[in-house]
Amino acid sequence: MMMDKAYILKHGILEQYLLGELTNEEQLEVDNILKTDADLKKTFDTLEANFENLAFENAINPPAEVKTNLMQSIKTSQTKVLPLQNKNPFKRYLYVAASISAFLLISSIWMFTQLKKSNTQLKIASEQKEQLMKDIDGLKNNLNYATTYFNVINSPETKQYILTGNDLAPNAKVVSYVNHQDKSVIINAEQLPKLDDAHDYQMWADVDGVMIDMGVIDKNKSLLAMNYIENAESLNITIEPAGGNDHPTVSRLVTNVYL
């Protein structure tokens, strides 16, 4: 099947191309189209950059090593052997018995040490496996979120709105993607100025003059989903106390846009 720009955007071919899910023939066909279609290449570059941002933001730290102190060697002191008297063979048996007992004791200690070392290694391996499974689950969830976000962003039904900052935050800029059909709102808040720990940005939808909470904007993410509000007339962002507020602080409105 010959693909064109409309088909590629409608069926999410760029996402499949980026994730390596296309056949060799399909991938070659998309390669050729991207070389000739500058707009489509720009869309793909933006998609690739957003995937990279998500990867860094959701990057998961490696599991912490389990610190253990194991006995590495058993030090034994040399003992002088007293010469045996021929006329008292019983002492010779005592020395032999003592030597055997010492050997058995050292062997037991060594075996105990090896067993303890093996148990510790098994515990470390079990903990690392458990952490690895958690990391894999986390990566799967992140991939699902990323796929959902980009399906919304690239949908023909999605409308883009840009919120620019006012005098309180002249450098602020937020790109919002609103899809009324899927009832979803995705925003790119990368260009919001940083706030201190005591404050957060919060998004609001104006419905018939009433501001309805759309959620607190996570400081640690540039691309995130907000609550969709029916019949919203505008999107608004204010600075609120950390954790959000029940009502918007209108005097600290930094940006808004009418839908």
Does the model's pTM come out above 0.85? no
CA angle 216, 255, 201 (to 5 degrees): 20
Distance CA 162, CA 213 (A): 19
pLDDT of residue 2: 72
pLDDT of residue 81: 47
188 to 134, 135, 172, 181, 219: CA distances (angstroms): 28, 25, 11, 20, 12
Beta bridge partners of 240: 200
Strands in 159-164's sheet, in edge-to-edge order, are: 159-164, 173-179, 184-191, 223-226
Amino acid at the residue 123: K
| Cα first-last separation, the chain | 38
CA dihedral 123, 128, 133, 135 (to 10 degrees): 150
Q: Which of 251, 223, 224 is nearest to 236 (CA)?
A: 251
Q: pLDDT tens track of the chain, all 259 residues?
A: 678 888 888 888 888 887 778 888 888 888 888 899 998 888 888 888 777 666 556 555 444 443 444 445 444 444 454 454 444 444 444 445 555 555 556 666 666 676 677 667 767 766 776 776 666 565 555 556 667 777 878 888 999 999 999 999 999 999 999 999 989 999 999 999 999 999 999 999 999 999 999 999 998 888 889 999 999 999 999 999 999 999 999 999 999 999 9
159-258: what CATH class? mainly beta
- Crossing angle (nearest 10°) for helices 38-57 and 24-36: 120
Phi, psi (rounded to 5 degrees) for 191: -100, 20
Q: Which of 194, 177, 197 is nearest to 254 (CA)?
A: 194
pLDDT of residue 191: 92
Exposure letters 179-191 (e unless 16+ CB within 10 A, then b): beeeebbbbbbee
Amino acid at the residue 136: I
Domain boundaries, the chain: 5-57, 159-258
230 to 44, 103, 183: CA distances (angstroms): 31, 82, 8
pLDDT of residue 231: 94
